[in-house]
Amino acid sequence: MSESRAKKIKLILFDVDGVLTDGLIFLVPAPQGAKPATAQTDQAGVALGSPNAIEVKGFHAHDGTAFSFARLAGMKTGLITKRISETVALRARDLKITYVKQGSAFKITALQEILDDAGLDKSEVAYVGDDIIDLPVMREVGLAIAVANAREEVKREAHYVTEHRGGEGAARDAVEYILRAQGILERVQDDYIADRATSASSMDVSAKG
């Protein structure tokens, strides 16, 4: 049943903390003299980011390749996260992620905004999460994916659970699962390799010239 759902997917959305990262958040004091950022909190008063610190996260290279796979397959990608971090914005720019919704305490609202912009039906969207804040979105989309280290409540409602933990290749598992179900994984992998082989060859020619 989950494979039939995966065949319809045209957009893959991800939570960040615990999905694209291992869930650890490092707050590094901002340099002296730096202008503090405006403090931002959700409706419950929980901080979405620190005004006096730089938020640092670690991302896995295998997951970065997954976003390239999705792009080569003609799929859009996006992030929906409650916290606000320039580190996330930087990673999203590097990976050419289409939709980036930070500070989204109500993730279902962010989902609807993305759907309206993309012109897609909910059945054409996959979402990868790890905690109960992700459940409202997971219950709405066509394919709900939980990472291996997700809370048990989340795993129970997922259509598919990744082999790897968040921050350790879970996003790669999710993307490859969808592409495999659509019968295009090997073609996308070949295109990815060929693209890099062509780029390397061009660099060699330029160096010789």
For the cut 50, the answer to whether the pLDDT of residue 87 exceeds it is yes
pTM for the model stands at 0.84
Q: What is the pLDDT of residue 45?
A: 41
For the cut 90, the answer to whether the pLDDT of residue 77 exceeds it is yes
Mean per-residue pLDDT over the chain, rounded: 88
Give the lowest-confidence range in 73-87, 104-118, 151-165, 191-205: 191-205
Amino acid at 185: L
Output the six-digit token pair for 177.
Answer: 């699962």
Q: What is the pLDDT of residue 24?
A: 84
The Cα–Cα gap between 172 and 177 comes to 8
Q: Which residues contact 61 (CB under 8 A, 6 or more apart)?
A: none
Q: What is the pLDDT of residue 32?
A: 64
pLDDT in tens, 23-48: 888 888 877 655 545 445 444 444 45
The Cα–Cα gap between 186 and 205 comes to 29
pLDDT-derived band at 206, boundaries 50, 70, 90: very low
Q: What is the DSSP letter of 30?
A: P
Output the six-digit token pair for 141.
Answer: 């989309």
pLDDT-derived band at 51, boundaries 50, 70, 90: low
Q: What is the pLDDT of residue 49?
A: 52
Pick the CATH number of 2-24+58-208 from 3.40.50.1970, 3.40.190.10, 1.10.20.60, 3.40.50.1000: 3.40.50.1000
For the cut 80, the answer to whether the pLDDT of residue 127 exceeds it is yes
DSSP track, 114-125: HHHHHT--GGGE
Higher pLDDT: 65 or 37? It is 65
The angle formed by the CA atoms of residues 89, 27 and 133, to the nearest 5 degrees, is 65
Q: What is the pLDDT of residue 74?
A: 97
Q: What is the pLDDT of residue 39?
A: 47
pLDDT in tens, 2-12: 899 999 999 99
Which of helix, strand or coil describes residue 185?
helix
Output the six-digit token pair for 183.
Answer: 């019968």
Beta strands, E only, the chain: 11-14, 26-29, 40-41, 47-49, 53-56, 76-80, 99-101, 125-129, 143-146, 160-161
Output the six-digit token pair for 106.
Answer: 């109500």
Output the six-digit token pair for 116.
Answer: 């309206």
The Cα–Cα gap between 23 and 11 comes to 23
